[in-house]
Amino acid sequence: MIVVAADFNMGAMENKGLNIFNTSCVLANPATTTDQAFQRVEAVVAHEYFHNWSGNRVTCRDWFQLSLKEGFTVYRDAEFSADMGSRTVKRVEDVSFLRTQQFAEDAGPMAHPVRPDSFMEISNFYTLTIYEKGAEVVRMIRELIGQDNFRKGSDLYFARHDGQAVTTEDFVLAMEEVSGVDLTQFRRWYTQAGTPQLQVTGHYDAVAQTYELLVRQSCPPTPDQAYKDPFHIPLRMGLLDAAGKDIALVLQGESAGSSVLTERVLDVTKPIQSFVFTGINSKPVPSLLRGFSAPVKLQFNYTREELLFLMTRDTDGFNRWNAAQELSVGVIQELLANHQQGIALTVNDGLVNAFGEVLQSAISDARSNNQLDQAMLAQLLVLPSEAYLSELSAEIDVDGIHQVREFVANTMAAAHAAAFAELYTLCQSHGPYAADAGSIAKRALKNLCLSYLMRQADATWLDACYQQYLTAENMTDVDAALRQLVNSRYPEAESLRDQALADFYNRWKHESLVVNQWFTVQAIASRPGTLEQVKALMHHEAFDMRNPNKVRSLISAFCNSNPVNFHHISGGAYAFLADQVIALNMSNPQIASRLLTPLTRWKKYNPTRQRLMKAQLERVAAQPELSKDVFEVVSKSLK
């Protein structure tokens, strides 16, 4: 009941009689498939399987209800993947993607509600808002009514509507009926676009032994929605004492019950709202938005000492990672301001020391073979991405963000060279390949160490990287080593890079999915001259403009995942992207419209880049016989 297609715009499709899968979402073996790709296959197969109920047996009344099946099913496959691996790491990965990609969509010209009011071309609404934000809306319902009630509500929804075509309202009504929770205000998540913002301040009263959280919510205007009513936002939180232990949470006006809660979900429903906790005998550190309980931007004026505390002591794994990210963001943003003013850069000692503590924990875990913790520690050692740093910027300084982030990464590599080397050695594995969570975590930590070690001007590690490429018995390690060779600025790496790229292609030229990896590795290289390399690869014997996977692996990878080269001040890459959109407009309008995404965000850049990007959007708009897919995106972008 399955067909696998090499030429397919989607990842997979859950048709009741015959599932259709893109080759990249179902074909996998250790020799040709990375750990990340294995996990994607597992998730996509789960997603289409779960669609049997959430999408097929209970389906959508109309296209406006698309998130009813897609958002719910993304939530279900994410829960499955979390159970198969590390729940915390899965949440980190999902939130990282949401905050860089979906938040950008919410802030751009294509912003729309989870349940849109209108559309010009329905294929343009298979978006991150429908899928990822739709899943977050489902997750918030679980936060508000509790896990047990959520399961009962799901069972009622399926039993009541089996064989029917229904709406998001039917789903929410089932959840209200089993829980008794009024979700009237919550329904605004379906009708209002944009990413809400929470500004939170804390005040400790030592005399009264109370701690107040004052929460202000707002949401910026989006196309066709200048004003937003307050959302119903579940804010999961805890308070930590000086030892890092969770404090009992009793709100003012409540009586302390027999069961003491040390974690609560606060119902944020008003523009300004106060929550006062009693019986707090010392100033706490708040742990806010645990598990990323709502898709919002949260601001709290943490000190660096408090972020270091949360990074090492918080009992919530997601918030440990988030504190590490916020600590790094603060340091990088400060350095970026210095860089823009021509001030010499120096990385804060606190961040350097925090990395050292995490590395020592990772070394200890590697010695005891505590592999699942290694997955979380690997996440703590990853600096915020350039995409996330850009999303946080009012005006994106592409070159500055890249240079400062590279400076911080190089500083960490130099400061902790010995620890990275020791950990790299400890994470070596000589047994047969396994795609289980522990083995994946160990490889992730090992290859993260290699990425830092390759930042040193040390021929020893260049040779070690090349040897890993030559001798690795799985594609994860081969791909990781190849990426480091391709991105290395070390002069001696050039010949090894060329040898490895030639060898990789000759070895795998008969495996189309592996060749796609080869295209992507070169497309996302941050070295100068990558645009010219991408143009040359478009004439390679293995490239086919008619194949969506090839287009995504080369053109889309370059334009979406290589900011420093795509946004080169010459504007050459903008013209290149417009050329490809025009070429694909009639033959594959779905892919053409999706390729446009990087240009749609032109208003976030400096005036020079704005002018260059807008000119290419206008060139696309001026083409005769534009498809509805492309016309809708380009016309909304130019408003």
The residue length of the chain stands at 639
β-pair type (164-166, 58-60): parallel
Identify the active-site residue in 14, 42, 48, 105: 48
Determine whether 79 is an active site residue: no
Backbone angles phi, psi at 204, to 5 degrees: -105, 130
CB 197 within 8 A of CB 203: no
- Distance CA(604)–CA(590), nearest Å, equals 25
H helix count then E strand count, the chain: 30, 13
Instruction: Using alpha carbons, select from 40, 41, 50 the residue that is nearest to residue 71.
Output: 50
- Contact, 14 vs 52, CB < 8 A? yes
C-alpha 423/C-alpha 196 separation (Å) is 40
> Strand pairing partners for 58?
54, 164
Query: In angstroms, rounded to a whole number, what is the distance separating the alpha carbons of residues 313 and 319?
Result: 10
Given a contact cutoff of 8 angstroms between Cβ atoms, the answer to whether 324 and 359 are in contact is: no
Please spell the DSSP secondary structure of 520-578, one letter per residue. Answer: HHHHT--STTHHHHHHHHTTSTT--TT-HHHHIIIIIHHHHH-HHHHT-TT-HHHHHHH
Residue 582's Cα: distance from chain center in Å? 29
Q: Can you read off the two tokens belonging to residue 308?
A: 């270091």
- The answer to whether the CB of 236 falls within 8 A of the CB of 291 is yes
Instruction: State the DSSP H helix or E strand holding residue 3, giving kind and residue range, or none if neither.
Output: strand 2-5
DSSP 606: -
Which residues pair with residue 288 across a beta bridge?
A: 237
Helix (H) or strand (E) holding 234: strand 233-240
Q: Is the separation of the CB atoms in 387 and 560 below 8 Å?
A: no
Residue of 449, 529, 526, 515 lying closest to 487 (CA atoms): 526
Task: Answer for the pair 81, 42: CB distance below 8 angstroms, yes or no.
Answer: yes
Identity (one letter) of the amino acid at 609? R
Reference 102, options 359, 378, 391; nearest CA is 391
Rounded Cα gap, residues 423 and 363, in angstroms: 6
The label of the residue with tokens 């692996």 reads 553
195 neighbors 106 (Cβ within 8 angstroms) = yes
The residues annotated with a catalytic role in the active site are 48
